[in-house]
Chain A
Amino acid sequence: MTIDWGIIIKSMPLLGHGVVVTLQVSALASVLGLALGVALGLCSLSHSRPLRWIVAGYVDFIRGTPLLIQIFLVFFALPALGIRFDEFWAGVVALSLNSAAFVAEVVRGGVGSIERGQSEAATAIGMRHRQILVYILLPQAYRQMIPPLTNELISLVKNSSLLSVISVYELTRAGQAIISVHFVPFEIYTLLALYYYVLIKVLSWLSGRLERRLPTW
């Protein structure tokens, strides 16, 4: 077979637009997912049993269903309940909801891994559960939460390719558009793989730097 170098050169800037959308979706979903996930994680650490059950149920649902179905639920099923998003925001919402469940587990695990003596010492001086979480446990858990959170972010960026099925014009969808016109699947899918690979590499590198900059004790 021969490689169509011309179409590769021509596609690179076109795919650049897709990269921007992928980054937008990922950035929004990771921020929203992180915020919601931390909130859920704190709920799962609270003393309120109903709250813990709700979070556990939510995490269980997200883990037990395919992301693709979750995307369809947000985009096709929610409008039936009167909640309507355009493709872009449906994608952001679906990825955020998905990511939040995993972030909640990371927060719960991170805080749970702090030695029991820490919360005992804080309890002994009269601190309350919430104060212990905020001032004693969470600050110690940040650093060890970075690697699993990075993994979650990487999954999120890769998963954003699924949004192509609801016509979000992100990187994968942009590639498919070129393929449907020029029929060059080999060149474009290879190029897409490369684009994602570089994106993920950059993220891993940034996360490694962040982890090194956070204090140890």
Chain B
Amino acid sequence: MVTPVIQVQDLSKSFGDNSVLRRVSINVDTGETVVIIGASGSGKTTFLRCLNRLEEPSAGTVRLDGNPVMNSGSEKQIADQRSQFGFVFQRFNLFPHFSALDNVAIGPEKVRGMSKSDARALAADELKRVHMSDHEMKRPVQLSGGQQQRVAIARALAMKPRVMLFDEPTSALDPELVQEVLDVMKELANGGMTMVVVTHEMNFAREVADRVIYMENGRIAEEGPPEILFREPKSPGAQRFLRHLTHE
């Protein structure tokens, strides 16, 4: 049997008395695209952030290619392991003092120890992949939100991650800029990238997801292939959530 890229076992997270994640367990296979949906506050984002330990889980384990993701060890080991996860933020979080090219090149250069010219060559390739070659030398402020998010995707890809995590990547975008980002993500998924995507874009979920997970109160309330989960959700929560969305 092939080891799943990600194995999550009983992952829990509380902030003080507030229990945000309650014993979540899932596996993600190589090349799979998993879309997580659910109301705000259901724990989707926290779940994603616990995978690459931007947030320290309270309990449970995450394995990447069968190896436990550590919370101990040298700072370098932890950082190296974290860089195996590509993370795309809702608000892009590009480095404003760098050009688009250097935003992408800084990781390969400083973390992977590549020479500056090699890192930039790699960065140029990754920018090409997200159709941003014409904007290499621009600073983030000179780019639209959609363009910034595509640079942010390239920045994550440049680390050659085993899996890409997307945290509501289009929620901060003007409506007309959403599609260009979704198109890039679709190309990645079709290219065989393993992805976990938190999003409210139901059309994207329907078209691209291999599996949809509906979260509620820090738990996985329901999961299944999109054509089934969207057509006949079983849990009352998922039914309500999907009804609200279609009424929007």
The secondary structure that dominates the B interface is: mixed
Task: Report the Cα distance A127→B52, complex, angstroms.
Answer: 13
Q: How far is the CA of A125 from the CA of B52 in the complex (A)?
A: 10
B107/A120 in contact, CB under 8 A: no
A120 and B85 CA atoms in complex are apart in Å by 13
For B82, the chain A residues whose CB sits under 8 A away are: 123-124, 126
**Is B134 an interface residue when CB atoms closer than 8 A count as contact?**
no
Q: Are B83 and A139 in contact (CB under 8 A)?
A: no
On whether A117 and B95 interact (CB within 8 A), knowing A125-B159, A128-B76, A135-B106, the answer reads no
Q: Which residues of A contact B54 (CB under 8 A)?
A: 120, 123-124
* B211 within 8 A of partner (CB): no
Within 83-128 of B, Cβ neighbours of A (below 8 Å) are at 83, 85-87, 89, 91, 93-97, 106-107, 110-111
Chain B 134-167 interface mask (CB, 8 Å, partner A; 1/0): 0000011100000000001001100100000000
Closest-by-CB residue of B relative to A142 is B97
Cβ contacts under 8 Å, A120 to chain B:
54, 89, 93
Complex Cα distance A128/B86, Å? Answer: 16
Q: Interface centre among B76, B82, B139, by most A CB within 10 Å?
A: B82
Contact of B228 with A by CB under 8 A:
no
**A118: shortest Cβ distance to chain B, in Å?**
6
* Nearest Cβ on chain B to A46's Cβ, whole angstroms: 12
A129 within 8 Å of B (CB atoms): yes
B59 close to chain A: CB less than 8 A: no
Q: With A129-B75, A136-B95, A217-B96 in contact, do A121 and B106 touch (Cβ < 8 Å)?
A: no
| A interface list, Cβ under 8 A from B | 115, 117-118, 120-129, 131, 135-136, 139-140, 215, 217
Cβ of B26 within 8 Å of any chain A Cβ, yes or no, is no
Across the A-B interface, the 10 shortest Cβ-Cβ residue pairs:
A126-B83, A121-B93, A217-B96, A125-B107, A117-B93, A124-B87, A126-B111, A126-B79, A139-B97, A128-B79
- Find chain B residues with CB under 8 A from A131 CB: 110-111
Contact, CB under 8 Å: A118 / B93: yes
User: Is B56 on the interface with A (CB-CB < 8 A)?
Assistant: no
Q: How far is the CA of A125 from the CA of B159 in the complex (A)?
A: 7
A124 with B52: CB separation less than 8 A: yes
Supposing A128-B76, A215-B97 touch, asked if A121 and B89 sit within 8 A by C-beta, the answer is: yes
Total count of chain B residues near the partner, CB < 8 A: 29
B187 within 8 A of A: no
Q: Known contacts being A117-B91, A217-B139, A217-B141, is A124 close to B85, with CB within 8 Å?
A: yes
Complexed CA–CA distance, A117 and B28 (Å): 27
- 9 pairs from A and B in contact (CB 8 Å cutoff): A118-B95, A121-B89, A122-B95, A125-B106, A125-B159, A127-B106, A129-B75, A217-B96, A217-B139
B80 within 8 A of partner (CB) = yes
Closest chain A CB from B47 CB (angstroms): 15
Is B93 a contact partner of A135 (Cβ separation < 8 A)?
no
Q: A117-B89, A135-B106, A217-B141 are in contact. Are A125 and B111 (CB under 8 A)?
A: yes
Q: Contacts of A217 on B, CB cut-off 8 Å? A: 96-97, 139-141
A127-B141 CB under 8 A given contacts A120-B93, A139-B97, A140-B96: no
A131-B110, A135-B110 known; A126 vs B159 contact (CB < 8 Å): yes
Q: How far is the CA of A117 from the CA of B155 in the complex (A)?
A: 15
B76 near A121: Cβ-Cβ < 8 Å: no
Chain B residues closer than 8 Å to A125, beta-carbon distance: 83, 106-107, 111, 155-156, 159
